[in-house]
Amino acid sequence: MSTAPKADILLQVAMRAEAQPIIDRESLQSLGAVAPHCPAQAFTNTVAGRNVVLVAHGADPLHNCDRIGPIGAATTCAAALARFTPRLIVNIGTCGGFRSRGGAIADLHLPQRLAFHDQRVPIPGFREFARGEFQTPPAEALRAELGALGGLCSSGGSLDATPQDRAILDELEARCKDMEAAAIAFSARDWGVPLLVLKCVTDLVDHPEAVQDAFLRNFHGATVQLANATSVLLRSNNLPW
Ligand code: ADE
C-alpha cells in the first residue's frame, strides 16, 4: 500500500463503471487497496489545488461483482475515513426518481436530507435510529451551480421497492432512492465530516417498467452526467467547508 495522503475531498462511488468516467476525466492515479482485507480501491490527483481521493467499493471476492449497497458503503467509508481523514465526503452515483413528484430520467440531485426506507424496527428508541434521518450541510449555491434538485434521498439494500418500501418512500416524500447515501452518512457522522450526495436518475420507481431495464438502458448516460457535475463540484467555490 502506498503512503497515505490526506484528502481535501473524498469521492465515494459504489460501482467501478460509475467511477471510471471521473477517474478518466480528472486523470486520477491508482493508490491500490484502501486498506488490507478491504476490496475498495483508491485513486487520487490534485484538482484545482485540492487533494482529491476517489474510492470505489471494489469487487466482492466471492461474487465478483461491485460491492454495491449499504454494507459496502459503510465499510468502505469507515476504511477511507481512517486512511484519508478528508475535510468533505461526496457520495456520487445513480438513483431512482419519482415521476409522482415531478422526477425524470437524467435529473441531478443534491439532497438536503437522507434516510432509510427499508430499516424498520417498531420498538421505542430504535425506530428513529433505524430510519436514520440525516441532514446534509447547507449547499444552495452549489445546488444552483450544478443545476441539481434538493429534497430527500432514501437508501435501502434493494434496487427494487416492495409495496411497504413504496409506502415509506411516499411518507418521506423521497425525491430519489439509492443504495448507499444514508449508510455513508452513518460513518461520516461518527467522524464529524460533512457529507454531500450527488445522484443522477436512471429509472423511475413509480413507473411500470422493470427497474433493472431502465437502469441498464440509462446507466452510461448517467455516469457521463455525473462526471461532468463532479468536475464542476471539484472546482467550485461553493463547497460547504
Ligand atoms: N440506483 C439506480 N436506480 C436505483 C433504484 N431505483 N434504487 C436504488 N438504487 C438505484
* Tens digits of residue pLDDT in 105-139: 999 999 999 999 999 999 999 999 999 999 999 99
Closest-lying ligand 1 atom to the alpha carbon of residue 93: 1
How much is the average pLDDT of 8-13? 98
- Please tell me the distance from the alpha carbon of residue 116 to that of residue 17, in angstroms, as a whole number: 25
3-state secondary structure of 2: coil
CB 154 within 8 A of CB 75: no
Give the Å distance between the CA of 104 and the centre of ligand 1.
13
- Whether 91 and 196 have beta carbons less than 8 Å apart is answered as yes
Q: Ligand 1, from 98, 117, 202: best to mutate by most atoms within 8 Å of Cβ?
A: 202
Closest residue CA from atom 2 of ligand 1: 95
pLDDT of residue 4: 52
Mean pLDDT to the nearest integer, 192-211: 97
Q: What is the pLDDT of residue 178?
A: 98
Report the distance separating Cα 14 and Cα 78, nearest Å.
14
CATH number of the 9-234 domain: 3.40.50.1580
pTM: 0.97
Average pLDDT estimate for 215-240:
98
In angstroms, rounded to a whole number, what is the distance separating the alpha carbons of residues 176 and 212?
16
* Residue of minimum CA distance from atom 6 in ligand 1: 96
Q: Which three cell numbers stand for residue 164?
A: 411497504
The mean of the pLDDT values for the chain is 96
Please say if the pLDDT value at position 2 is more than 90.
no
Domain boundaries, the chain: 9-234
Residue 100 pLDDT exceeds 90: yes
Residue 7 has a pLDDT of: 97
Q: Does residue 224 contact residue 18 with C-beta atoms inside 8 Å?
A: no
- Whether 73 and 179 have beta carbons less than 8 Å apart is answered as yes
Question: Does residue 202's CB lie within 6 angstroms of at least one atom of ligand 1?
Answer: yes
Closest CA to 66 of 180, 165, 177, 162: 180
Q: How far apart are CA 190 and CA 188, in angstroms?
A: 5
**Ligand 1 contact, 131 CB (< 6 A):** no
Q: How far apart are CA 5 and CA 45, in angstroms?
A: 10
For 2-6, 47-51, 188-192, which range has the lowest pLDDT when averaged over its residues?
2-6
Residue nearest atom 10 in ligand 1 by C-alpha distance: 95
Q: For residues 9 and 194, what is the distance between their CA atoms, to the nearest angstrom?
A: 10
Mean pLDDT of 155-174: 98
pLDDT in tens, 48-83: 999 999 999 999 999 999 999 999 999 999 999 999
Work out the pLDDT band at 5, boundaries 50, 70, 90. low
3-state secondary structure of 10: strand
| Angle formed by the axes of helices 181-191 and 70-84, nearest 10° | 30
Distance 46 CA to ligand 1 centre (A): 31
Q: What is the pLDDT of residue 1?
A: 46
Does ligand 1 come within 6 angstroms of the Cβ of 177?
A: yes
